[in-house]
Amino acid sequence: MGKVIPYSPPLIVPDSELTAGEVVLLVLDALKNNDNPTVDKGVDILFGYSSSGSQIKNEEGLTPKEYGEFLKETEYKALFEHINVTIEKGEYSFDGKKGFFTARLQIGPLPGDSISCNFILSVEGSDTEDPVWLVDSILIRPQSMRRRRRK
């Protein structure tokens, strides 16, 4: 087994040097380590990587603590409890300003113990600042919406 590197939160949020896929992995890693080094730091990082069009930015007065508590009461608790992440698919819009990623979150010890998590990201920035990939939405596919295997 390889050496385990301890988690350390990013110093720059958001970071214009990251690709859309790297933002997905960074946000998932931050949420998995939500209370490191401080309580709800992971949700705080998610807020920092949320686009101006995201639900988080449009919910007035929403705090990281409140949003974290809300997520943990739903199937979104997997964002905090996953064991491993695999990016299954990453696509970009024709103009390169939107990214669509599907991450598989392993939530149990068996290979089949996983759920899909869809991310939509967009590039934001202006002439005066570097463009940065930000999260528009995260959608966890509930168990009932999973594709059934055909026999």
pLDDT digits (tens, 9 = 90+) for 93-119: 999 999 999 999 999 888 778 999 999
The CB-side HSE value for 72 (13 A sphere, CA atoms) comes to 14
pLDDT of residue 76: 94
**Beta strands at 84-92 and 132-140: parallel, antiparallel or unpaired:** unpaired
Share of the chain above pLDDT 70, in %: 89
Range 128-135 average pLDDT: 88
CATH fold of 20-143 reads Nuclear Transport Factor 2; Chain: A, (3.10.450)
122 and 98 Cβ atoms separated by less than 8 Å: yes
What residue ranges do the domains of the chain occupy?
Answer: 20-143
Rounded to the nearest 5 percent, the helix, strand and coil shares of the chain are 30, 25, 45
Average pLDDT over residues 145-151: 48
- Whether omega before 131 lies within 30 degrees of 0, making that bond cis, reads no
The amino acid that residue 120 corresponds to is I
Helix (H) or strand (E) segment spanning residue 64:
helix 64-72
Intra-chain end-to-end CA distance of the chain, in Å: 37
pLDDT for 1 equals 54
